[in-house]
Structure 1
């Protein structure tokens, strides 16, 4: 069997009144940055802050009375888990969810809050899937796959229907790829409604599973990624043929592209995006020429990001933009020198965030010390002004290259 547009239209009837029709809005700040005319579909505004509710509800609604009694089992890095837990609870269906041990705590807590039994197992989705399959066999539960299921794909495809009703003349639809359920459903819907539209997929560069399948390559797969929601090693059997037929290209987004996209959604669009949710924008940052001058629809597919990770991203982006920087100053170790350095930096209009003495390193003279100062500045030119002023005062200073700058 294969997914049809009729399946997606039926899915729209199933979710009507049960899943939010999220807004599709123009994004002038992102348009200015990318050179395209950008519209964003805010699936992060769903109850569980993710698009996954659509496919989960369509699948659960398709179950027989006996299947509902037996209960369901799913594996997920978080968003599918929450969606299955929420709608299973609404429908009175027992649910067990297996999640990787690396899943952000915010997603684990949210899944439990919807009444599901949560089992943490494995480092990756593949390892979690093995545990889920074992539980499914032992307890005779119904499998609710996060992507490799026609009901799930049909539910996800309802997004493109709404997008093209709101903005009928989109040139490009950019869709994140994990196992392929989201892009599969939306590619079928988009091509049915607007045959000339171009559908572009995006994967985290560390997890090029669909890229490998499409190009018959064996690029390495694995590693810690900000986009854990699409960190999938094996694409779906049902999704791959759909992607082959309807998707014109797959873009691989680096971790720095993903970080920048998350930060842009927060600082420019004033909305929360997790790494996978921001992947469409990351693709535009990675290959701007592909999108420039065209009308682009992005699916902000999830907003469940750990606040600690989000805070780290914001600081790292400030470093990349040279608005926060660390400098190392070589000084004489005597009273008053630290005050002199601080006063000089203050007069030049910078804000000191942190100071650390480095007295006990062998590259430091016995009567000297190195001072690491983290400062908040206007931009790179302001930073160079400070470095030059310190040098002029006989205080050699260099910028310390950090992980944020190198990413």
Structure 2
């Protein structure tokens, strides 16, 4: 039997997270470029979390969760599961706070992400994404060490931290006397899009928050359609390695089902074109999992002509071989 769902994070929790992260996380800019407006017919604003600590938005949620661990529990450290971006976020946050970290990471995770996680001082424990249960492995390690589990998305503190991405988008658009018609974010377990919804929807109820997913891993889109959490058939098969959660989180779906409800998918080929577009036209390096929302925009799946569309580029930790393949594709 599933444990009861804990109290859901609120907009006030996102605001509190912003205070904890001030001066620690990078306040990434909101960028606009004529070439993207002309290519899409929208007024597009990009949130490049590629410039965040560790190269992705994940640092925000990891730090917000870990900094709230009581002092007496900190020596036992933290344990997390991740293919790389959450791993680096947790490792960096734990290092800043003087805590040990263990990361349960799939064997097929990009070598760059594994190397950077190790460089941040974390211990990495490998597992097979297809045949092994990462959550069970992490839970066993945490129980043995008395450590705190820091989930990649299904945690109120993590969700609130990720929501600061949306809060900054709203503040920066307000400074331009604009409100968003669409805010689109790449989606795995749903922590980022849930947090963004908490920041955006109470301020602009008519804005559409869109969960963007790799084709074939469109569990949020199917879950919004059915009203229950749907599981992906495959555990691997897309090069968007950051976005391959098996299904929406229990906590995140309680938020996204009523507050998001919109999804868009992009194929690996479309994502590869978006990675290349970001490099050639925007001068930005984006990993495949960080470019799905941009791909959906370029394919005309986000908003209508003239809409104000904010797109989160959620990560830039791409290995050389994958990046070159996208540019040459």
TM over 0.5: yes
Give the equivalent residue in structure 2 for 1:166.
172
For 1:126 and 1:164, locate their aligned partners in 2 and report how far apart those are by CA, in whole Å.
40
Q: Which runs of 5+ in 2 are unaligned?
A: 1-6
CA deviation after TM superposition for structure 1 residue 289, in Å: 6.8
- 305, 313, 320: which is aligned to 2:318? 305
Identify the residue that residue 104 of structure 1 maps to in structure 2: 110
Q: CA deviation at 1:222?
A: 3.7
Could you tell me which of 61, 67, 80 is aligned with 2:67?
A: 61
C-alpha displacement of 1:177: 1.0
Q: Per the alignment, do residues 270 and 280 of structure 1 end up closer, same or farther by CA in structure 2, a change over 3 Å counting? A: same
Distance 1:132 1:171, change over 3 A: same
What whole-Å deviation, never above 9, does each CA across 1:265-311 have from its counterpart, x for those lacking one?
11111111011111111112344474432110011110000111110
Residue 48 (structure 2) pairs with residue 42 (structure 1): yes
Q: Aligned equivalents of 1:56 and 1:128: distance in 2?
A: 18
Change (3 A) 1:192 1:278: same
Instruction: Give the SS at the match of 1:154.
Output: helix
- Contact kept, 8 Å, 2:232 with 2:246, in 1: the verdict is no
How many angstroms apart in 2 are the aligned matches of 1:257 and 1:213?
A: 23
Flag the 1:125–1:291 CA change in 2: closer, same or farther, 3 A: farther
**How much has 1:133 moved relative to structure 2?**
2.1
The 1:161/1:287 distance shift into structure 2, 3 A limit, reads same
Aligned match of 2:21 in 15, 34, 38?
A: 15
Whose radius of gyration is greater, 1 or 2?
A: 1
Change (3 A) 1:219 1:154: closer
Shift in alpha-carbon separation, 1:124–1:294, aligned structure 2, 3 A: farther
- Judge conservation of contact 2:296–2:302 (CA < 8 Å) in 1: no
Flag structure 1 segments of 5+ consecutive residues without an equivalent.
317-407
Matched, 1:230 2:255: no
TM normalised by structure 2 equals 0.92
Deviation by residue 1:362-383 (Cα, 9 ceiling, x = unmatched): xxxxxxxxxxxxxxxxxxxxxx
Using CA pairs under 8 Å that are at least 6 residues apart, name the structure with larger relative contact order, 1 or 2: 2
User: What secondary structure is seen at the aligned counterpart in 1 of 2:168?
Assistant: helix
User: What is the number of equivalent residue pairs in this alignment?
Assistant: 316
Q: Following the alignment from structure 2 to structure 1, what is the Cα–Cα distance between the partners of residues 93 and 137?
A: 22
Match of 2:187 among 177, 191, 205: 177
Q: Name the TM-score, length of structure 1 as normaliser.
A: 0.75
User: Match for residue 194 of structure 1?
Assistant: 204
1:140 aligned residue = 146
The offset of 1:313, in angstroms, is 1.2
- Is contact 1:72-1:143 (8 Å) kept? yes
1 CA distance for matches of 2:232 and 2:90? 32
How far apart, CA to CA, are the structure 2 residues paired with 1:45 and 1:225?
24
1:266 aligns with 2:272: no
